[in-house]
Amino acid sequence: QNPKTSATVRQLLAEGNAADLQRYFGSRMEFGTAGLRAAMGAGISHMNDLTIIQTTQGFCRYLEKNFSDLKKRGVVIGFDARAHLSSGGSSKRFARLAANTFISQGVPVYLFSDITPTPFVPYTVTHLKLCAGIMVTASHNPKQDNGYKVYWENGAQIISPHDKGISQAIEQNQEPWPQAWDDKRIDSSPLLHDPYGTVSEEYFKDIQKQCFHRNINKATKLKFVHTSVHGVGHKFVQLAFEAFGLSPPFAVQEQKDPDPEFPTVKYPNPEEGKGVLTLSFALAEKDGANIILANDPDADRLAVAEKQESGEWKVFSGNELGALLGWWIFTCWKNHNRDTCAVKDVYMLSSTVSSKILRAIALKEGFHFEETLTGFKWMGNRAKQLMDEGKAVLFAFEEAIGYMCCPAVLDKDGVSAAVITAEMASFLATRNLSLSQQLKAVYDEYGFHITKASYFICHDPRVIQQLFDNLRNFDGKNTYPKSCGRFQVSGIRDLTTGYDSSQPDKKAILPTSKSSQMITFTFANGGVATMRTSGTEPKIKYYSELCAPPGNSDVEQLKKELDELVSALEKHFFQPEKNNLQRKTE
């Protein structure tokens, strides 16, 4: 019943445009563990009013089956600032339609009255003991996209088998229920609650448990620049700084207010590096700030840059910031826990494609480190299991600039990560140390971990499948490569097929997934490289790392070795020319 999308479809029918009709209606968006992520527009392959209604009807039925007290506890729904004029879709409209679906079945809904960071949804699920949460966001995707992200009652993103169960329920509930389109009904419903005020207050109280140096924060002369890249983060990072006793960061004026067009950037993704930070660098130079904090549009990720003595800006990789935050959070914990036995109940987590620096710190300091599959859904669920066993999970991170610094949110959170980074920098400044100098000190103490990651773009799923099939049948059927250029392969783990050459029974310990490609190669020189497909973008990604034991300080030699390994990986395993792959461009 959306006049804009139905007009699009009628127009295509009138023109007899079979190709576009096939694109819009040929296949339904797949509901996976990341929920939905697609362009806004007409048809069942896009995010629109109808597909949101259908998805929520399925989700509602699935929750009814799993929770006998759903009508007592309810769900939370949040949204970002995305909007798509030509199809009439927006995150707020989708959130209201979803709320209407639940309320029509007698389920209480805690619908945020305004835009919020993604981490507020998992926080609310846990804080109010709700059955589930939905965040309508496409995070840092291009402006035409939107998404529907789902959290379970434990406050973590869903994992299998929930995705399959919800997907089946969506298939069985496609006919919109009576009043499905009438979202105005919710405004007068006693089942509609607005958690905005209380949750904001409680969230900032909870993150203050990670504030250890309020006096230093109040006195610091360090200046920070913050950009929310046209997303939701501005107000919340300002409030976080206030909660920690820090002076507010300078905001990049052109980017501080939400704008679904993202007019000043090519991609609204701070992971893309310096291109997204051009305006931040200019403001920092003007106001004499040394540190830039950049959130992605839904404020669940954080990029950090620091001005070097040379005048150049260094943008920290996700792994480097992970090393710094891991060191900092453990140091703060250690200084506040004199009981040396307590360390045996301390855990840190990172994903399998992230740097192993936390493993090195854990080995030396005596706490536990665990590796999970890629994505915070795995780290959030594992963290909850450990916390339920009475363990302290201090920190989790992934190289894609995602950090979980506060146990109140079992997902990545760019707001708490920003203010904790600011406190760390303020503390280091009292010791006349920069973030870059401290990073070197961490590597000196625990061993250098040099990483390099990138991706190729490929829009043809058949080419991707063929590329990975070739790696699995490299020298005849079911044989993996024994070398990559001059580098000898010493181990292979394939989490698509479940093969792991290092295990006695050759079976991988981590869960496997046939629906996504992921192979990790270990090399005789101590290098590790993982190749995997992305769940949300047409990319084949790779992650590589060389770990040196403490005391090996020839960083330049390590970097050169890793560069050569990556070049060999691209040439022999990706074969970009043969496979017509498009390189990442800065």
C-alpha R_g of the chain: 24
Strand duo 487-494 + 145-151: pairing: unpaired
The sign of the CA dihedral 125, 512, 344, 402 is negative
How many other C-beta atoms lie within 10 A of the C-beta of residue 159? 17
CA distance linking residue 58 with residue 290, whole number of Å: 49
Catalytic annotation, pick one of 139, 317, 354, 426: 139
Q: Give burial (CB, 10 Å; 0-12/13-18/19+) of 509.
A: exposed
Task: Give, to the nearest 10 degrees, the angle between helix 120-127 and helix 196-207.
Answer: 90
Torsion sign (Cα): 349, 153, 91, 195:
negative
SS3 content of the chain, % helix, strand, coil (to 5): 40, 20, 35
Q: Which helix (H) or strand (E) holds 378?
A: helix 376-388
CA pair distance 256, 87, nearest whole angstrom: 26
32 DSSP β-pair partners:
35
Q: Which residues neighbour 33 within 8 Å (Cβ) at sequence distance 6 or greater? A: 157, 158, 159, 160, 162, 163, 375, 377, 535
Residue 502 is a catalytic residue: no
- Helix H, strand E, coil C: the string for 226-255 is EECCCCCHHHHHHHHHHHCCCCCCEECHHH
| Distance between CA atoms of residues 441 and 439, nearest Å | 5
- What is the C-alpha separation between 392 and 387, in angstroms, rounded? 6
* Phi-psi category of residue 551: left, alpha or beta, with phi > 0 → left and psi -120 to 50 → alpha: left
Alpha carbons 21 and 216: distance in angstroms, whole number: 61
Other beta carbons less than 10 A from residue 190's beta carbon: 7
- Residue 292 zone, left/alpha/beta (φ > 0; ψ -120 to 50; rest): beta
Residues 561 and 574: their CA atoms lie apart, in Å, by 19
In sequence order, which residues have a C-beta less than 8 Å from that of residue 195 and are 6 or more positions away?
76, 110, 112, 124, 128
Tell me which residues are annotated as active site.
139
